[in-house]
Amino acid sequence: MFTGIITDIGTVTETQQRGDLRARIQNSYDMAGVDMGASIACNGVCLTVVGKGPDWFDVDISAETISKTNIGHHGWAPGVRINLERALKVGDELGGHIVSGHVDGVAELVEMHDEGDSLRLTFEAPPELARFIAPKGSVALNGTSLTVNEVSGNRFGINLIPHTQEVTTWGGARVGDKVNLEIDTLARYVARLAEAG
Looking at per-residue confidence, does 4 or 74 come out higher? 4
pLDDT in tens, 29-49: 999 999 999 999 999 999 999
Spell out the domain ranges in the chain.
8-86, 105-196
Give the residue from 184, 170, 191 showing the smallest Cα distance to 137.
Answer: 184
Q: How confident is the model at residue 18 (pLDDT cuts 50, 70, 90)?
A: confident
Can you give the pLDDT at residue 48? 98
Question: How large a percentage of the chain has pLDDT more than 70?
Answer: 97
8-86 is classed CATH 2.40.10.10: no
Residue 10 near residue 67 (C-beta atoms within 8 A):
no
User: Stretch 35-64: mean pLDDT, rounded?
Assistant: 97
Would you place residue 96 in the very low, low, confident or very high pLDDT band (cuts 50, 70, 90)?
confident
Rg (CA), the chain: 16
What pLDDT is recorded for position 197?
A: 62
pLDDT tens digit string along 129-186? 999 999 999 999 999 999 999 999 999 999 999 999 999 999 999 999 999 999 987 7
Contacts of 132 (CB under 8 A, 6+ apart): 183, 184, 187, 188, 191
pLDDT of 5 strictly over 80: yes
% helix, strand, coil for the chain, step of 5: 20, 45, 40
Q: What angle do CA 120, 81, 72 make, to 5 degrees?
A: 90
pLDDT of 112 above 70: yes
pLDDT in tens, 163-178: 999 999 999 999 999 9
State pTM to two decimals: 0.93
pLDDT, residue 190, reads 75
User: CATH number of 105-196: 2.40.30.20, 2.60.40.60, 3.40.50.720, 3.40.50.150?
Assistant: 2.40.30.20
